[in-house]
Structure 1
Amino acid sequence: MMGNLIELIFKKYEYKILYKRMLFTCLIVFIYILGSNISIVSQVHTKGHEGSFFKIAISNMGGDVNNLNIFTLGLGPWLTAMIMFSLISYRNMEKSMKQTRAEKNYKEKLLTLFLGFTQGYFIIHEYVSNDRIQTDNILILLIILVTGTMLLVWLADQNIRYGIAGPMPIVFTSIIKSLVHQKFEHIDANLLVLVLIGLIVIFTLFVLLFIELVEYRTNYRDVMNVSQSNTKTYLSWKINPAGSMAIMISISTFVMINALVNLIAKIIFTEAPSRFEWLTFGSPIGITIYILLQMILSYFLSRFLLNTKEKAKIFLKNGNYFISVNPGEETANYLNKMARRVCWFGSVTVTLIIGIPLYTTLLIPSLTQQIYFAIQLIVLIYIGINITETIRTYLYFDRYKQFLNKYW
């Protein structure tokens, strides 16, 4: 009976490719959950302050600093390396497109390795400075942390090829784990304030759903369908092309900057504090730096994904054109103008959604942990929306697989 059911799913059912990918992603998530529960030091010495900004930020990258485990660093170093190479490629996309996938992966992994050692040493130094672990075997702990990160990066890369949504399921699981382990103290706020916060969260989720589902469309003339006057062709762009990936990358980059600044200060100045408070979410300077980083990285990542230069070349090659816009350079300028409008709107909207609650924690410190919880919940649902969109894409592929195979 069970054998017939498996055969029905994998050999006869319409969406067999989707189910194979989902099962592979479940295997990746299982390995991640297993590894994140393997502590590399004694649990007694790794209890820290609950609900700190650093723990929440790390959890949004697939990491966990509640205890030192194999996957403590998460995907942070890899995501930071990705955005660095994306920004470099944005300056010269033609050169980047000529590079093979193996060359890009090699460079990304080298930078990931360097960033992993930097962030790993910073985290271990935090544990040592707070007397949560001994100074013995620091090098071994660092090697284990970096090895675990590289393993997690490999798992995410395999999930891109054979699973669903790349690193997002790992981050999704990490955030759920962080939300479950959060302990709320007595809430010093009246019922009206709590209801208002709940309504704001619901409104925010509707806004995120809106910018994910709505497309910016611009009609153009297709020379192949010029005789069909009733047929309209249009170029469609998502309002926020970067999606939830921009949030993960911005948090990763902010944490990496935090680690580098504090680590360099410790090396140069022996009497430097264990951590600069102005570079945390508990300071207006730290929050401002983060939201500016989020907005800029989201914009440039969106521009990189839209790739208007390549679209202008495709328009020129196919003979398609916009009304009252000449082909070639004028079309490229027209596309750049539209892309700037779309990308700035999406990046500013997402930045406001994340930034306003962070500033609210400065005005209402008693609700800091609850607001952090709401932010994580918003990010969790946003990632869930992106995963759902990926699943929908595979559903379309499976539905028209027989037709598409003729042209593959």
Structure 2
Amino acid sequence: MAKHFFPKTLFQKLIFTFIIMAIYLAGRELPLYGVDLVAYETFRGHTDDLIMQTIGGDRYKTSILALGISPFMFSMLFVQVAVAFKSADSKAHTSPKKITQATLALMLIWATVQAYFTTGSTLYIYQGGIELILARFISGLQMITGAFLILWLATRNGKYGVGGQTILIYVNILDSVVRTVKSRDFEEIKIIGVVGLVALFFTIIFENSEYRIPMQRISIHNIYSDKNYIPIKLNPIGMMPVMFSSAFFMLPVYITIGLSTLFPQDKKLEWAVQNMDTTHPLGIGVYVVVLYAITIIFSFVFISPKNLAENLQKAGDSITGLRAGKRTRRYIGARVFFVSLFSATFMSLFIGLPLVLQLKGYVPQEVMSLPSIMIAMASINCNLYREFRAVKDYDAYIPFL
């Protein structure tokens, strides 16, 4: 009975994950060299973007884990995108070692750039001179080291625990939500709370639902032949649009600022710079467009119609009623576009609506990202549940000898 409720392998993995979480939480309390912790006390209870906090480190960028998991996630994402554009044969000749090396190299560059800009905005106890330069240099090295420490923790947890790197995001989510909700009155969060709960409910449904493309395999001719299909999850790329929309939104912002610098007399560009944020209608519109673009583009990257069609053709399989080749590729592409458009509309509704409510003054700016957080939490919970089930099923096997 005890084995049924507390499988040995699952229990061991959970213990290891709790240890990793404890180390991560302890690391977030270790201050950077020379940082003025007293000055940051005035910011307690205030926050800008809950979403960026979930992939960042500590809330105020004052610990050695200030960069959080974002350098690793962004680097891994770009490498995966680069690999996804390769042909099936080229992918087969790309070793995991090369992918890891490319990810680490890009992560080092990304973490260095992030550390440089973060130290520039960090408050130090030194007012200037060589002491301030030294403090920025040392704290920058600490941030980069902390980013690789987080990568090590995530890797260890992926191998011996549950949840992989997402468990660290989960810690940040819980911390951000609890601290933000505790600092607000019920009247301030009741509207956004209802929107968040509805978003949570629909995310769970979409995470566990899929669009099925019926197919015919040449190796199956029995009663199971009609149960073969290509599954496409209704939420194809999970929480990725939620996690990265804020980061990719900065691209049009920087472009607008750059154009305004080149053409300082242009009044339209000056107006665009002043309104390119999520507190103005222009910024909200661009943000939603970015969200659609991320969802659709990355759906095609990770569910490649080209590679699916090539693999079907090589195996001799086909979609029911279609010839293998270009027609199959176009058919799969149309279905991926339809599903990703549906997912993007869902995301935009529950992420864009809070922005509009904040613009109208119905919800505080500090809590407008709560529905986005709930979507990310639901996606992580669904993945954790599947992993728990898989480990529990593994524990159910009894050794033959």
Q: Normalization by structure 1: what TM-score?
A: 0.79
Asked whether the equivalents of residues 315 and 321 of structure 1 are also in contact (C-alpha less than 8 Å), the reply is yes
Aligned to 1:110: 105
Deviation readout 1:265-302 (Å, 9 max, x if unpaired): 99xx9xxxxxx875554344444444333332233333
Name the SS for the 1:153 alignment partner. helix
Aligned to 1:406: none
Taking the TM superposition and a 5 Å limit, the aligned residue runs for 1:8-407 are 15-40=7-32, 41-49=35-43, 50-54=45-49, 56-94=50-88, 95-128=90-123, 134-135=127-128, 136=132, 137-182=135-180, 184-185=183-184, 196-228=191-223, 231-254=226-249, 280-364=277-361, 367-399=364-396
Residue 338 (structure 1) shift: 1.7
Aligned to 2:268: none
Residue 331 (structure 1) shift: 2.1
Distance 1:378 1:235, change over 3 A: closer
Asked whether the equivalents of residues 211 and 231 of structure 2 are also in contact (C-alpha less than 8 Å), the reply is yes
Q: Distance in 2 between matches of 1:78 and 1:254?
A: 19
Q: Distance in 2 between matches of 1:301 and 1:201?
A: 24
Asked whether the equivalents of residues 220 and 235 of structure 1 are also in contact (C-alpha less than 8 Å), the reply is yes
Distance 1:396 1:248, change over 3 A: farther
Aligned positions, number: 379
Q: Distance in 1 between matches of 2:84 and 2:332?
A: 16
Q: Distance in 1 between matches of 2:190 and 2:16?
A: 40
Deviation readout 1:84-138 (Å, 9 max, x if unpaired): 223323322433442211211111122211221222222222224xx77644111
Asked whether the equivalents of residues 58 and 64 of structure 1 are also in contact (C-alpha less than 8 Å), the reply is no
Aligned to 1:272: none
Asked whether the equivalents of residues 158 and 164 of structure 2 are also in contact (C-alpha less than 8 Å), the reply is yes
Residue 31 (structure 1) shift: 1.3
Q: Distance in 1 between matches of 2:316 and 2:393?
A: 29
Q: Distance in 1 between matches of 2:15 and 2:27?
A: 18
Residue 195 (structure 1) shift: 5.3
Please tell me the root mean square deviation across aligned C-alpha atoms, in Å.
3.5
Distance 1:316 1:293, change over 3 A: same
Deviation readout 1:284-343 (Å, 9 max, x if unpaired): 444444433333223333333323333323322333222220123322222222222222
Residue 345 (structure 1) shift: 1.8
Amino acid at match of 1:34: A
Asked whether the equivalents of residues 204 and 378 of structure 2 are also in contact (C-alpha less than 8 Å), the reply is no
User: 207-216 or 152-161, which moves further after superposition?
Assistant: 152-161
Q: Percent identity?
A: 22
Asked whether the equivalents of residues 62 and 170 of structure 1 are also in contact (C-alpha less than 8 Å), the reply is no
User: 357-366 or 169-178, which moves further after superposition?
Assistant: 357-366
Unpaired stretches in structure 1, ≥5 consecutive residues: 270-275, 404-408
Name the SS for the 1:199 alignment partner. helix
Q: Normalization by structure 2: what TM-score?
A: 0.81
Deviation readout 1:214-241 (Å, 9 max, x if unpaired): 1111222233332438853222221112
Q: Distance in 2 between matches of 1:122 and 1:216?
A: 43
Q: Distance in 1 between matches of 2:222 and 2:370?
A: 56
Asked whether the equivalents of residues 48 and 366 of structure 2 are also in contact (C-alpha less than 8 Å), the reply is no
Amino acid at match of 1:160: G
Residue 77 (structure 1) shift: 1.8
Q: Distance in 2 between matches of 1:391 and 1:254?
A: 35
